[in-house]
Amino acid sequence: MIRTFLSKGNKLISQAGAGVVSKSSAESELQEVNNKLSALRKAIEFAEKI
């Protein structure tokens, strides 16, 4: 999975990945992962307000 939440005990773990191909650059792949993690953080912030 590219974006994942895992609830274990009292911890919520999030992870994100990217599809690395021959033309990928490390910087752009890192930015892609950070963008995905940011979306997960925003989802948690939204859920806390409900």
List, for residues 24-46, the tens digit of each pLDDT value.
999 999 999 999 999 999 999 99
Rounded CA-CA distance 35/39 in Å is 6
pLDDT value, residue 25: 94
Report how far residue 16's alpha carbon sits from residue 2's, in angstroms, rounded to the nearest whole number.
5
Q: What would the mean pLDDT of 11-20 be, rounded to a whole number?
A: 91
Convert the pLDDT of each residue in 5-14 to its tens digit.
Answer: 999 999 999 9
Task: Answer for the pair 5, 14: CB distance below 8 angstroms, yes or no.
Answer: yes
* pLDDT confidence of residue 1: 57
Measured CA to CA, the distance from residue 17 to residue 30 in angstroms comes to 9
Q: Is 3 left (phi over 0), alpha (psi -120 to 50) or beta?
A: beta
DSSP β-bridge partners for residue 12: 7
pTM reported for the whole predicted model: 0.76
Output the pLDDT for position 28.
93
